[in-house]
């Protein structure tokens, strides 16, 4: 996977999955690309480092999501799914479940 520019996201599409991938100072992060508000593309969002963690801001209406937990910082109870990311000598890998709806 080609690396996104620092502070920028990259969309990774694999089957039914649309994953927003970010690289920050503390490593790689992957979460669902589709904002639960009105399907904004989080991979096109901007990152903000805050006291509450690093947040990605949806480019459509500004909802913010924690890169590590996927929790929405704007609307309580909303979230996006996050995925483990592994990096080794051969590359960077997002670990996907068998099905998009698996929890």
The contact set with ligand FES (CB under 6 A) reads 35, 37-40, 58, 60-63
| DSSP, res 77 | T
**What three-state secondary structure class fits 71?**
strand
Shortest distance, position 40 Cβ to ligand FES, whole Å = 3
Which one, 6 or 75, has the nearer CB to ligand FES? 75
Neighbours of 24 (CB within 10 A): 15
Shortest distance, position 52 Cβ to ligand FES, whole Å? 18
Q: Is 56:7 a contact under the CB 8 Å cutoff?
A: no
Triad 25, 100, 102: Cα angle to 5°: 95
76 φ/ψ angles, rounded to the nearest 5 degrees: -55, 135
Least CB distance to ligand FES at residue 35 (A): 3
Output 38 or 52, the one with its CB closest to ligand FES: 38
Considering the complex, state which of residue 21 and residue 72 has its C-beta at the smaller distance from ligand FES.
72
């Amino acid at each position: 996977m080609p690396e996104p520019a620092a502070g920028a996201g990259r969309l990774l599409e694999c089957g039914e999955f649309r994953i927003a991938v970010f690289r920050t100072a503390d490593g790689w992060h992957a979460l669902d690309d589709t904002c639960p508000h009105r399907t904004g593309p989080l991979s096109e969002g901007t990152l903000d480092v805050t006291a509450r963690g690093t947040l990605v801001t949806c480019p459509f209406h500004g909802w913010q999501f924690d890169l590590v937990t996927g929790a929405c910082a704007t609307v309580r109870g909303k979230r996006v799914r996050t995925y483990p990311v592994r990096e080794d000598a051969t590359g960077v890998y997002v670990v996907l479940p068998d099905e998009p709806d698996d929890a």
